Structure 1
Amino acid sequence: MAKRIVVVACRKLRQQNLCPGDAKCLVAMMRKEGEFERYKGEDATIVGIADCGECPGTRVPASLGLLKMQLAALKETADVIHVGTCITLMCAYKDDVVNLIKEKAGVEVVEGTHKYVMPKVFP
């Protein structure tokens, strides 16, 4: 059975179109690069992309809850949550966001997605 993956991305970067279409995460998954390398030789797919819910990330459980409802309607689930590189490298609230996801997720949480260059948008 395929490993089902959800990615949690930074809402600010997504809204500002600094990561159009979540392309880096999707391509890294397709190529099994970065933190997705762990799935080499394994059937794995991204079933959804949620965002952090805005700074300071306290609404990430609601964002994940909505995605979980959508997946349930499609008779799908998530096995793993990857916290996007946009959060793990650039977010001032990274530790809080990651800990909140780990506390609420009920599945494995992996920090990071790709290893591609990130835009410099925050001082």
Structure 2
Amino acid sequence: MKVGLIRCRQTEDMCPGTMDFKIIKEKKCVFEYVEEDIEIIGVVSCGGCPGKKAIPRAKQMVKRGADTIVLASCITKGNPIGMPCPHAEKIKEGLIKNLDNTVQILDYTH
């Protein structure tokens, strides 16, 4: 699995993504079913509200080999600020609409 991770721009200054990387490395939570090796292709932010750069950045990661785009838990669950992104569903819908249907979209990391 080759992963492109999209995180919330609002949380960049308080979260270095340590838990996301740990979960991927240890194949826990959303990755627990993955039997193959996981390679991180890229980590980007959504570009700021309302997720204006999530789709083009996801496309770039797919172009560079990602077969899975993951919305980090800061977007969908609100970690660590306790407030999920109000645009999360719209971002996910945009990814599904604009990426090839062979690209898997995961809703969270942990």
TM-score range, shorter chain: 0.7 to 0.9
Q: What is the aligned partner in structure 1 of residue 27 from structure 2? A: 32
CA contact (8 A) 1:28 1:113 kept: yes
**Deviation for aligned residue 1:9:** 0.6
Q: 1:103 aligns with which of 74, 97, 100?
A: 97
Deviation above 6 Å: which 4+ runs of structure 1? none
Alignment of 1:1-123 (within 5 A): 3-14=1-12, 17-20=13-16, 22-39=17-34, 41-68=35-62, 71=64, 77-89=65-77, 90-106=84-100, 107-114=103-110
Q: Which runs of 5+ in 2 are unaligned?
A: 78-83
Question: Contact 1:13 / 1:19 at 8 angstroms: preserved in 2?
Answer: yes
State the aligned residue count. Answer: 102
Q: Deviations over 1:15-55 (max 9, x none)?
A: xx2112x111101001111111121x322221111211110
Percent of counterpart pairs with the same letter? 25
Unaligned segments of structure 1, at least 5 residues: 72-76, 115-123
Q: Which has the higher helix share?
A: 1
Kindly indicate whether the alpha-carbon contact (under 8 Å) linking 1:79 and 1:108 is maintained by their aligned counterparts in 2.
yes
Cα distance between partner residues in 1 of 2:50 and 2:106:
20
- Could you say which residue in structure 1 is the equivalent of 2:81? none
CA distance in 2, matches of 1:103, 1:53: 19
TM-score, structure 2 as length reference: 0.82
TM-score by length of 1: 0.74
CA distance in 2, matches of 1:104, 1:58: 13
One-letter code of the match for 1:80?
T
Report the Cα distance in structure 2 between the residues aligned to 1:97 and 1:50, rounded to whole angstroms. Answer: 14
